[in-house]
């Protein structure tokens, strides 16, 4: 719809490492919001997240999203209490 109206695409949602691929793949993609709290959450799960340099977040060159979940950290997080006070795995 944004393309039909010659408007830049802007997607929020606080997950820059996932959203940046969508923005880069569109001719009318715009800037990616970089929410530091969301990034810190992602660092609890993912390895090799790109870091911004001079206000620019470069797309990874590795396949897929360019980063992968750390299985040990995912397992650790799954054992933590959930909202009902029990582990999730």
Q: What is the pLDDT of residues 27-82, one digit of tens each?
A: 888 888 888 898 998 999 999 899 999 988 899 999 989 999 999 998 888 877 76
Using CB atoms within 10 Å of the CB of residue 67, give its burial: 0 to 12 exposed, 13 to 18 middle, 19+ buried. Answer: middle
CA distances to 44, 47, 71, 84, 85 from 18, in Å: 15, 13, 18, 29, 30
pLDDT top residue among 69 and 22: 69
The 3-state DSSP class for residue 13 equals coil
Tell me what pLDDT residue 23 has: 85
Tell me what pLDDT residue 34 has: 87
Average confidence (pLDDT) over 10-25 = 84
Tokens of 17: 């490492």
């Amino acid at each position: 719809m944004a393309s039909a109206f010659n408007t830049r695409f802007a997607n929020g949602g606080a997950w820059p490492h996932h959203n940046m691929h969508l923005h880069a793949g569109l001719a009318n993609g715009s800037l990616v919001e970089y929410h530091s709290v969301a990034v810190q959450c992602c660092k609890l799960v993912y390895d090799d997240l790109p870091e911004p340099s001079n206000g620019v977040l470069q797309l990874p060159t590795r396949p897929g999203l360019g980063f992968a979940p750390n299985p040990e950290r995912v397992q650790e997080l799954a054992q933590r209490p959930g909202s009902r006070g029990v582990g999730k795995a």
